[in-house]
Amino acid sequence: MTRKTLSGWIFDVYAVAGGMRLWLIDRSGKKHRLFERFSPVFYLGGAPAALKQACAFLSRLSLPLHMKPSEGIEFYSGKTLPVMQITVENPLHFKKVVRWVIAQENQKGRLGKTLVLYNADLSLPQQYFYTKESFPLAFCMVLLEDSRILALSVEDSPWATDYAIPPLSIMQLRMEGEAIDPAQTTARALEIEVEGRRHVLEGGHESVVVARFDRMLVRHDPDLILSEWGDPYILPKLLAAAARLNRPLSLNREPGKKVLSKKERSYFSYGRMVHRSQSRTLLGRWHVDVRNSFLVGLTELEGLFEFARLSKIPVQQMARTSTGTGITSMQMDLAFQDGILIPWRKRMPEAFKSASQLLLTDKGGLTYAPRPGLYESVGELDFASMYPAIMAKYNISPETINCRCCPENKVPEIGHHLCQKRRGLVPRFLEPLLEKRARYKTLKKAAADPALRRSYDERQSALKWGLVTTFGYQGYKNARFGKIEAHEAITAYAREILLQAKEIAEAEGFEMVHAIVDSLWLKRQDASETDYQSLSERISKACGIPIVFEGIYAWLLFPPSRRHLNLGVPNRYLGLFESGKIKVRGLEVRRSDSPPFIKAAQREMIDLLSTAKCASEYQKLIPKLKLCFERYREKLHSGHVPFFELAISKTLSKAPKDYQKASLSAIVAKELSGRGVDLVPGERIAYVIVDEKSKVPAERARALGFIDGTWSYDVQKYEQLLKQALEALYIDCMF
Amino acid sequence: MKADFLKKRATAAEAFTRFDGPPLSLVSDAAGGLFLFYGDPALFALSPVLAGWRLSLGEPVFFLDGNHCFDPYPLVNLAKTIGQNPKTFLDSLFVSRAFTCHQMGSLVLNQLREAMGSHHPRLVILASPLETFYDESVPLIEARNLLHHLTAALGRLAPGHIFVVLSPFPKKSAGRRAFFLSYLKEKANRIFRVNRKENASSLSITEEKPAEQQWIFPLETG
Ligand SMILES: [Zn+2]
């Protein structure tokens, strides 16, 4: 037996018999496969008789378990509770034991009433990281006996902003050709990019493709396989072919283990259809499908790494989960470190409130719709991370809202109250996170190196999205540490603060043009940047929540609503800051379902407009805008626009057979099912409109992946879409 | 005092002449019990009438919302139509919303009895209680067990109170969980199936248990 020390980054962690497998990558890029003993723990609380019976049940299981009386803090009351600590010696037994306890207690009707489970739904890597106060991608030093970890010291902090990422070797996988969901089109060749070279595994027999792919895996031994549609298509296909050929693929680095697969799921949750693609994750190597990852799609890998480090969720899982789950894990970690028992499942219902109270509390954020038109000298002020900042400032958390001790500390307007004696978990968790995001923003401004600037920006924007999705309009109600009353308190403060900001601005002679929840658009003819700066300082001071001056617009357009020409639409605008930066919200270029052709046309028109330095120059450009429109119109009429450019992509709300009306989505979904493509609600499809008015539904639109030269697109329809894209920027009646 | 009270009763009765049919006629004579209305999603149109019936008598009403479907406006309109103060209606209707089946379970199993003890409603409406149980992020067995306990608790609470459950047909997305409706049926004292022909201006209500009978309920138009 040899003892040695080693330093490097924690790359992957998963449970194996008796403990955790830990992969470390050292500075030279070398991988080390290590093992650490680890026994996960959960707790049982409740009435003594029920506890006794549960323990009797556990001791009848012939598994190595240890039970001992212990204590923990109850989340809502803050009181210390006696509990039974159950240590499951082998982590591979953990899930099973918890499942058995749940089934047994559910059957007896005790669960949640006389018996309560705590810390029971933490994943094993999460629990390992929480316990060891370590995290994915942490740089650490380990003391080893052979490959067994005797001691591990973390020489890194999740709060660090200047951390390094291990040197990773990357292999990219995609199907050749345009970016179309490979399950919804004809067969294509597999394309592999590795070490700067592109290889196309052209047709031939599947055995040839599988063998070549496997040889490349072995030769390049990539740490990260970065794919497009690897989860639902490429890996399942390759694995199925390998199984048929009885030829194992070297995808895992853990010998003798299968690739982990999760089935696709489509379900109704919180009032909307959710689709989770199937997934294929690896052991000792990462597979990340960029098409199946919110974070990677948004911020590339920087945001993913940032989230994995902070949330303590391993990279492959973090890539596939929502930022909300990441944020919840950060809160659970804090609770865990404080000895708070983490309640199993979200169960605290809303307290009964009268319908009048409900109308008062359920109002959400304030919105003042803009009057349509082209404006000059408008400035924009945004409250930074308003909801989280409010929670931190007013101590809003599920266990502080309507506490038993502070009925006098009222929330404005709605009658809830907040604790002044106990600092809440959510505010405590938010403070360092908000601070970290602010630090990234400062670093980004100061960074001279563009690559560094981009990486800071990606990290801060990942944090921003995490905060928005968790504490935004919908998310908070559903979060594990969310409580509807807390959400109501936040929106009540937000309304008050926005009104307060409006009043301060109006007192200084500004006119409010538009406002939405946490942003204000103000106008005063002579106002300079300094005026806006000092206004935002005064508002920040008065409200206690920082408001940021975004800039003055050289011009700002609020297009009219398509139905009511004299009404504007909240959060739909186009403006040019005096700094030269264009800002667009709600227009076709920003919409995920717009055809690329229409987006390109509007993008070009917007580029043209960005040369206008004031409203009158904007108006002078309108003839040019019309010329641009004409050019695109001609292209359309030539019939030569590629189908790919005309694709409209939509999310299916139902299974193809459940559609009653012949909407275009329904028609195409049926076409695809007819071609043997399995579609489930929540999945996205792409189609081209071929003849919208056709009497034969199947001839109105066709699936992008299968459309061929025997079809032609509906020129009139696309011209109409093009016209709408133009008219969003210019309407006769406005000028 | 007495005269006032009588007057109030009279206006309320008058006001409900419009509603001398179902659903009120189906539940108003009962001392208590669990009444299940299931079928077309338009059945939610029954809830303001049911709530208005007790609210107009100055009683509180409970509304347990399993699908974020509580809509105060029909109730306000009803109050106005029958010459009552909408504010009084809104002050006496108590709502609790559940977003997960564990919340719905906890609401019925742990919170409801205590809340009923402090407000004394005679009528408790459960709107779409099954919706949260269709969520597949909760394992089937877990959801089923919880639902079993929930319906058993409803069965225990119902005598002496009128529990009305409004449950639309399971959506296709309920998948394998569509049978959850049978748990409610099993505990219900009376079961009514609600149908609506496409674009029809009325609902037809058919009793399935205990007797086979049919009624028509006119829907508000316009
Ligand atoms: Zn307090």
The CATH number that applies at residue A495 is: 3.90.1600.10
Residue of B nearest to A657 (CA): B172
Q: Give chain A's length.
A: 735
Calculate how far, in angstroms, residue A627's C-alpha sits from the geometric centre of ligand 1: 66
Residue A565 has phi, psi (to 5 degrees) of: -65, -20
pLDDT value of position B3? 42
Task: Give dist(CA A546, CA A532) in Å, integer.
Answer: 14
Collect all residues of chain A within an 8 Å Cβ-Cβ radius of residue B127.
none
pLDDT value of position A295? 82
Query: Number of folded domains in chain A?
Result: 5
More confident residue, B136 or A663: A663
In one letter, which amino acid is B199?
A: N
A19-25 and A3-16 beta bridge pairing: antiparallel
pLDDT value of position B199? 72
> Which tens digits make up the pLDDT trace of A553-606?
999 999 988 888 788 888 899 999 999 999 999 999 999 899 999 999 999 999
Report domain B2-218's class.
alpha beta
Q: Are residues A733 and A679 both part of a single domain?
A: no
Using DSSP, state whether A582 is helix, strand or coil: strand
Task: Provide ipTM, 2 decimals.
Answer: 0.86
Task: Give dist(CA B162, CA B123) in Å, integer.
Answer: 5
Contact (Cβ atoms closer than 8 angstroms) between residue A568 and residue A371? yes
Is residue A30 a part of any domain in this protein? Answer: no
Those residues of chain A that have pLDDT short of 50 are: 270
Task: Output the CA–CA distances (angstroms, integers) from residue A418 to A292, A335, A397, B155, B213, in the order listed.
Answer: 40, 20, 9, 37, 53
Is residue A65 a part of any domain in this protein? Answer: yes
Q: CB distance B107–A349 less than 8 Å?
A: yes
Residue B156, min C-alpha distance to chain A (Å): 15
> In sequence order, what are the residues at sequence separation of 6 or more whose Cβ sits closer than 8 angstroms to the Cβ of residue A236?
A261, A278, A280
Calculate how far, in angstroms, residue A364's C-alpha sits from the geometric centre of ligand 1: 25
Residue A328, min C-alpha distance to chain B (Å): 16
Residue B136, min C-alpha distance to chain A (Å): 6
Using DSSP, state whether A139 is helix, strand or coil: strand
Calculate how far, in angstroms, residue A394's C-alpha sits from the geometric centre of ligand 1: 12
In DSSP terms, A287 is beta-bridged to: A225
Q: CB distance A106–B142 less than 8 Å?
A: yes
B175 backbone φψ class: left, alpha, beta (φ>0; ψ -120 to 50) = left
Residue of A nearest to B86 (CA): A356
| A564: nearest Cα among A689, A731, A406 | A731
Calculate how far, in angstroms, residue A78's C-alpha sits from the geometric centre of ligand 1: 11
SS3 content of chain A, % helix, strand, coil (to 5): 40, 25, 35
Q: CB distance A654–B172 less than 8 Å?
A: yes
Calculate how far, in angstroms, residue B98's C-alpha sits from the geometric centre of ligand 1: 25
The last residue of a domain, from among A544, A561, A586 = A586
Q: CB distance A350–B134 less than 8 Å?
A: no
Burial of A596 (0-12, 13-18, 19+ CB in 10 A): middle
Note the pTM of the prediction, 2 decimals. 0.85
Residue A467 has phi, psi (to 5 degrees) of: -70, -40
Closest residue to B103, CB basis, from A103, A265, A348: A348
- pLDDT over threshold 50, residue B1: no
Contact (Cβ atoms closer than 8 angstroms) between residue A567 and residue A372? yes
Task: Give dist(CA A486, CA A493) in Å, integer.
Answer: 11
Q: Are residues A396 and A535 both part of a single domain?
A: yes
Q: Are residues A569 and A421 both part of a single domain?
A: yes
Collect all residues of chain A within an 8 Å Cβ-Cβ radius of residue B99.
270, 346, 477-478, 484
pLDDT range class, residue B6, cuts 50, 70, 90: very low
Is residue A309 a part of any domain in this protein? Answer: yes
Residue of A nearest to B65 (CA): A350
Q: Are residues A83 and A108 both part of a single domain?
A: yes
Closest residue to B72, CB basis, from A267, A353, A359: A359
| A20: nearest Cα among A9, A10, A5 | A10
Task: Output the CA–CA distances (angstroms, integers) from residue B125 to A518, B52, B93, in the order listed.
Answer: 37, 12, 10
Q: Are residues A209 and A264 both part of a single domain?
A: yes
Cα B163 to chain centroid, rounded = 7
Q: Are residues A592 and A635 both part of a single domain?
A: yes
Residue A419 has phi, psi (to 5 degrees) of: -75, 140
Range of the domain at A605: 587-641+715-735
Q: Are residues A539 and A623 both part of a single domain?
A: no
> In sequence order, what are the residues at sequence separation of 6 or more whose Cβ sits closer than 8 angstroms to the Cβ of residue A390?
A396, A490, A493, A494, A497, A545
* Greatest Cα pair distance in chain A: 85
The last residue of a domain, from among A586, A602, A621 = A586
- Which residue of A98, A346, A352 is the best one to mutate when testing the B interface, meaning the one whose CB has the most B CBs within 10 A? A352
Domain with residue A71: its CATH number is: 3.30.70
> Which tens digits make up the pLDDT trace of B167-186?
998 876 677 888 899 999 99
Task: Give dist(CA B43, CA B49) in Å, integer.
Answer: 11
Residue A132, min C-alpha distance to chain B (Å): 29
Residue A241 has a CB neighbour count (10 Å cut-off) of 17
| A485: nearest Cα among A348, A622, A323 | A348
Task: Give dist(CA A102, CA A99) in Å, integer.
Answer: 5
> Which tens digits make up the pLDDT trace of B24-75?
888 888 889 999 999 998 899 899 999 998 999 899 999 999 988 888 888 9
Calculate how far, in angstroms, residue A76's C-alpha sits from the geometric centre of ligand 1: 11
Q: Are residues A387 and A452 both part of a single domain?
A: yes
pLDDT value of position B4? 46
> Which tens digits make up the pLDDT trace of A93-139?
999 999 888 888 777 766 666 788 999 989 999 999 999 999 999 99
Residue in the structure block whose two tokens are 């992946």:
A705
Question: How is residue A609 written in tokens?
Answer: 């407009």
Is residue A36 a part of any domain in this protein? Answer: no
Domain with residue A696: its CATH number is: 1.10.132.60
Q: CB distance A106–B146 less than 8 Å?
A: yes
Counting other chains too, the contacts that A602-608 makes at CB distance below 8 Å and 24 or more residues apart are: A602/A725, A602/A726, A602/A728, A602/A729, A604/A628, A604/A632, A605/A629, A605/A725, A605/A726, A605/A729, A606/A574, A606/A582, A606/A729
More confident residue, B160 or A32: A32
Calculate how far, in angstroms, residue A399's C-alpha sits from the geometric centre of ligand 1: 9
Residue of B nearest to A99 (CA): B142
A178 backbone φψ class: left, alpha, beta (φ>0; ψ -120 to 50) = beta
Q: Are residues A383 and A516 both part of a single domain?
A: yes
Q: Give chain B's length.
A: 222
Question: How is residue A516 written in tokens?
Answer: 């939405």
Task: Give dist(CA A615, CA A636) in Å, integer.
Answer: 31
Sign of CA dihedral A639, A644, A645, A647: positive
pLDDT value of position A294? 81
Contact (Cβ atoms closer than 8 angstroms) between residue A26 and residue A7? yes
Residue B204, H or E segment: strand B202-209
> In sequence order, what are the residues at sequence separation of 6 or more whose Cβ sits closer than 8 angstroms to the Cβ of residue A277?
A231, A232, A264, A289, A292
In one letter, which amino acid is A352?
A: F
The last residue of a domain, from among A570, A586, A602 = A586
Task: Give dist(CA B83, CA B89) in Å, integer.
Answer: 11
Q: CB distance B92–A354 less than 8 Å?
A: yes
> In sequence order, what are the residues at sequence separation of 6 or more whose Cβ sits closer than 8 angstroms to the Cβ of residue A24?
A6, A8, A9, A10, A11, A31, A32, A34, A140, A142
> In the A/B pair of chains, how many CB contacts fall below 8 A?
111
Q: Are residues A552 and A599 both part of a single domain?
A: no
Task: Give dist(CA A328, CA A334) in Å, integer.
Answer: 10
Residue A111, min C-alpha distance to chain B (Å): 9
Q: Are residues A382 and A478 both part of a single domain?
A: yes
Task: Output the CA–CA distances (angstroms, integers) from residue B138 to A43, B79, B145, in the order listed.
Answer: 21, 40, 11
Collect all residues of chain A within an 8 Å Cβ-Cβ radius of residue B95.
350, 352-355, 358
Contact (Cβ atoms closer than 8 angstroms) between residue A405 and residue A541? no
Task: Give dist(CA A639, CA A634) in Å, integer.
Answer: 9
Task: Give dist(CA A320, CA A333) in Å, integer.
Answer: 20
